[in-house]
Structure 1
Amino acid sequence: MWTEEQIIKFIHEDKWMLEVLKAAKSFHLPDWWICAGFVRSKIWDMLHGCNERTPLSDIDVIYFDPTNTEELVEKKLEEKLSAIIPDLPWSVKNQARMHLKNNTSPYSSSIDAISKFPESATALGLTLDDHDKVILTAPCGIYDVLHLEVKPTPFFKGSSERMEIYRDRIFNKKWDETWRRLKIFGVD
């Protein structure tokens, strides 16, 4: 089974993913990451032997800036990213304000926010250091994504209300139709 270092190597070898990461890096956002499906789908595609990249519903760029939590800033960043790489479904969110939307206590960082994503296999993020070296964060680990297991994160397991959100996402995303070998837990 792959290690975090091997996943990082696969990302480094993917010119398109590096181009997307460099576009996000160019804004010098504090505590920025591209997360969720951008990372997970790459891994699942490789584990399923896909010859083509599975289309992404969005490219989640997150950052953490408690000094400016205006949603308009995020929309302007999406427009600027679209000017750099058009035709991508950019989604930019400042995690310093997302606790309000998600009805939780404030996050302390972007990694804290990622740890509270619904699925452990999606609680992944990538960023670039000053030398464009890929850094992977996986606050819930990489076991589930590598073993094609979809499970709620510990944060979501702790609430019946959040588990309902998890179940709705699983039903609506229909990931098991795209990646047939997935094992989905927690939907009963």
Structure 2
Amino acid sequence: MDIRELFSQDDDLMTIFRIIEQLDLKDSWLAAGTLRNYIWNVLSGKPGLSDTSDLDVVFYDPEVTYEETLALQNQLQLRYPNYQWEVKNQVLMHIHSPHTKPYQSATDAISKYPERCTAIAARLKDEHLEVFLPYGAADIFDFVVQPTPHFLADSERMEVYHKRQQKKNWQKKWPRLQIMDERIRM
């Protein structure tokens, strides 16, 4: 299955990509759980975007404040209320990952997300769909959840990873999932 083709065949997803492109934010992507969940839903015979799907919009711009980011998120929610927008400037997001230096770009941040299957992003640029998959798509297609090398390298980050798995309880929604920890390396 080709991810670009899968995404480009979905009118809602393409509308979202166009909205994000029109925001003209630096280094912006639709990312993380939005796209991972979309693929898992499609592979499970469910609608790609569900009513509970957050739209994880990430960007990287040191000139944009937290307050401006929040205002943008609120504007998107008002303008497009049928979607649940979550807009995050990756400039300061490293603080949510113990012992992590500031990110250098949105893709740097995405590559350091807790799970390899969550490290996914896509964007529309000049009607061309770009996909960023630093660890490939195998984990997503195989329903495997395992930590990224960044999280494996630090015990406190691994605590965050384990707490996140308990909180998310993804296996309830996608029973095929295999949750891996630091003792299992593929």
Q: Same fold (TM over 0.5)?
A: yes
Cα distance in 2 for residues equivalent to 1:58 and 1:38: 6
Aligned amino acid, residue 129 of structure 2 = V
8 Å contact kept, 1:24–1:81: no
Quote the residue 2:171 is aligned against. Answer: 176
Which residues of 2 match residues 130-145 of structure 1 at below 5 A? Answer: 130=126, 132-145=127-140
Number of aligned residues: 182
Shift in Å at residue 84 of structure 1?
2.8
Q: Equivalent of 2:148, from 149, 153, 163? A: 153
Give the fraction of aligned pairs with identical amino acids, expressed as a percent: 35
Say what the alpha-carbon RMSD is for the aligned residues.
1.7
Which consecutive unaligned segments of at least 5 residues does structure 2 have?
none
Q: Equivalent of 1:59, from 52, 55, 61? A: 55
Cα distance in 2 for residues equivalent to 1:101 and 1:120: 17
Shift in Å at residue 54 of structure 1?
3.6
Higher deviation after alignment, 168-177 or 52-61: 52-61
8 Å contact kept, 1:23–1:85: no
Runs (4+) off by over 3 Å: 51-57, 100-103
Aligned amino acid, residue 33 of structure 2 = G
Quote the residue 1:49 is aligned against. Answer: 45
Cα distance in 2 for residues equivalent to 1:146 and 1:125: 15
* SS, match of residue 96 in structure 1: coil
Quote the residue 2:108 is aligned against. Answer: 112
8 Å contact kept, 1:11–1:18: yes
8 Å contact kept, 1:114–1:124: yes
8 Å contact kept, 1:31–1:64: yes
Which residues of 2 match residues 77-92 of structure 1 at below 5 A? Answer: 77-92=72-87
TM-score by length of 1: 0.90
Which consecutive unaligned segments of at least 5 residues does structure 1 have?
none
